[in-house]
């Protein structure tokens, strides 16, 4: 440890596990891919295993599976209404994938794929495109009235419509940056304080205490960011379905 | 035989209970609401910056395609800033989730306020 410089960003490094190429496209199976597969497997085991018993009075495991179902079902009901029920599978998948990605990132020596903007932006962009398609499918060209705020004088529309369009285009960016920045900042901070602990020797007890608190905080953030990402997806969906 | 005390008057009891119970104190954000408030804070902080970034980025792209010098970027910079503020305004409106989301936290909060 002493001769090797401590690099808090080393944990985010992408490693090609199975190099592969299609033309000029690098389609290697990386550690990020590996952890995504693990996340999907873990979610599947968690839900399928939990519901295997189908007990009327659920045990602990089944309770957790049912709790996560009800949490998302309630979220959709609150933010979109009953017309959002159709989108439950998508939103539930999104939430569980992000939640497990964030939570598994808290395991030492694991890899947090949600700390990469490529991953979060891909998810946010799918949400953005999907919501736009839903909007056009439900309202046709009338969906464009979403960009015309109500009760604004005609002259101001010249200014307001571009602002509204920009505000709409911001969605995938803010959605992805929020998740990626929170995860990356948190994990970097953990690593920095861990490095202080090693460097300070006996006085390392102070950064160690901070790290303990930070770890708890990071678990909160891991859940919170999965929640925020999903709730915003619901809100965007609601905007597209109900317009204004 | 000692006389038993008369059964307490219900109205009297109600009054005394009310006195004994402290009034619910408004403490702003309660401990239970803290995660939600934090989610809100995370949400708002990014909203402003990303709108500005998207504005400038789009302006730069338009300039690149149309060859209009720095002008589109300048215009889009201000539009992006306005869009960011609009986003923040919508996000924090009534501390709910936007003006148009029916049954959102905002409308529920209002309902609660009226009833309670």
Give the pLDDT of chain B (116 residues) as one tens digit per residue: 566 666 667 888 888 878 877 665 555 555 556 666 766 777 787 888 899 999 999 999 999 999 887 888 999 999 999 999 988 888 777 554 444 444 444 444 444 433 33
B35 found inside a domain:
no
Chain B contact probe: residue of A167, A234, A239 with most B CBs at under 10 A: A167
Give the pLDDT of chain A (244 residues) as one tens digit per residue: 444 567 778 888 888 888 888 888 888 888 899 999 999 999 999 999 988 888 888 888 999 999 999 999 999 998 898 888 999 999 999 999 999 999 999 998 889 999 999 999 999 999 999 999 999 999 988 888 888 888 888 888 888 899 999 999 999 999 999 999 999 999 999 999 988 888 888 888 889 999 999 999 999 999 989 998 999 999 899 989 988 6
Chain A positions in Cβ-Cβ contact with residue B86 (cut-off 8 Å) = 163-164, 167
What is the distance in angstroms between the Cα of B24 and the nearest Cα belonging to chain A? 27
Residues A18-46: tens digit of each pLDDT: 888 888 888 888 889 999 999 999 999 99
Domain range enclosing B95: 41-115
The predicted pLDDT at position B30 comes to 55
Q: How many other C-beta atoms lie within 10 A of the C-beta of residue A171?
A: 25
In degrees and rounded to multiples of 5, residue A65 shows phi and psi of -65, -45
The predicted pLDDT at position B113 comes to 39
What is the distance in angstroms between the Cα of B100 and the nearest Cα belonging to chain A? 6
What is the C-alpha separation between A188 and B6, in angstroms, rounded?
A: 70
What is the C-alpha separation between A173 and A170, in angstroms, rounded?
A: 5
B26 found inside a domain:
no
Contact B86 A167 (CB under 8 A): yes
Contact B86 A79 (CB under 8 A): no
B62 found inside a domain:
yes
B73 touches chain A (CB under 8 A): no
What is the distance in angstroms between the Cα of B67 and the nearest Cα belonging to chain A? 20
Residues A148-170: tens digit of each pLDDT: 888 888 888 888 899 999 999 99
A68 touches chain B (CB under 8 A): no
pTM for this one? Answer: 0.79
Greatest Cα pair distance in chain A: 69
Report the domain count for chain B. Answer: 1
The predicted pLDDT at position B116 comes to 33
Chain B positions in Cβ-Cβ contact with residue A174 (cut-off 8 Å) = 46-47, 50-51, 87
Q: Is the Cβ–Cβ distance between A80 and A233 less than 8 Å?
A: no
- For tokens 């309770």, the residue is A63
B29 found inside a domain:
no
The predicted pLDDT at position A136 comes to 93
B25 found inside a domain:
no
- Alpha-helical regions (H) of A59-153: 60-79, 88-104, 117-139
B110 found inside a domain:
yes
Beta strands (DSSP E) in chain A are 16-18, 21-22, 25-26, 29-30
What is the C-alpha separation between B41 and B47, in angstroms, rounded?
A: 10
ipTM, two decimals: 0.74
Which residue(s) pair with A22 in the sheet?
Answer: A25
Whose CA is closest to A236, among A91, A120, A73, A72? A91
The residue extents of the domains of chain A are 10-242
Q: What is the dihedral of CA B36, B38, B42, B48, to 10 degrees?
A: 90
């Amino acid at each position: 440890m002493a001769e090797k410089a401590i690099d808090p960003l080393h944990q985010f490094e992408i490693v090609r596990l199975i190099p592969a190429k299609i033309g000029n496209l690098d389609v290697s199976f990386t550690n990020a891919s590996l952890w995504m597969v693990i996340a999907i497997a873990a979610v599947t085991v968690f839900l399928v295993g939990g519901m295997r018993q189908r007990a009327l009075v659920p045990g602990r495991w089944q309770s957790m599976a049912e709790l996560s179902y009800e949490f998302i079902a309630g979220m959709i009901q609150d933010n979109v209404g009953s017309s959002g029920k159709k989108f439950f599978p998508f939103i539930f998948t999104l939430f569980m994938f992000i939640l497990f990605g964030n939570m598994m990132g808290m395991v030492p020596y694991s890899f947090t794929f949600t700390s990469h903007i490529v991953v979060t932006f891909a998810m946010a962009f799918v949400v953005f495109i999907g919501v736009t398609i839903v909007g056009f499918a439900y309202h046709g060209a009338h969906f464009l009235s979403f960009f015309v705020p109500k009760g604004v004088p005609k002259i101001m529309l010249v200014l307001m419509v571009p602002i509204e369009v920009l505000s709409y285009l911001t969605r995938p960016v803010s959605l992805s940056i929020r998740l990626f920045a929170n995860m990356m900042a948190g994990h970097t901070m953990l690593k920095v304080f861990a490095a202080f602990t090693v460097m300070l020797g006996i006085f390392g007890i102070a950064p160690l205490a901070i790290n303990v608190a930070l770890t708890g905080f990071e678990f909160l953030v891991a859940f919170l960011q999965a929640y925020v990402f999903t709730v915003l997806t619901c809100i965007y969906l609601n905007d597209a379905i109900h317009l204004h | 035989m000692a006389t038993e005390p008369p059964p307490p008057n219900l109205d009297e009891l109600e009054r005394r209970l009310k006195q004994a119970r402290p009034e619910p104190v408004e403490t702003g954000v309660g401990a239970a609401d803290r995660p939600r408030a934090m989610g809100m804070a995370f949400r708002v902080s990014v909203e402003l910056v990303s709108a500005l970034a998207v504005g400038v980025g789009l302006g730069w792209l338009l300039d690149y395609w149309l060859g209009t010098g720095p002008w589109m970027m300048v215009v889009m910079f201000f539009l992006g800033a306005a869009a960011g503020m609009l986003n923040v305004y919508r996000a924090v409106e009534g501390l709910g989730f936007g003006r148009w989301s029916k049954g959102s936290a905002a409308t529920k909060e209002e309902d609660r306020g009226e009833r309670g």
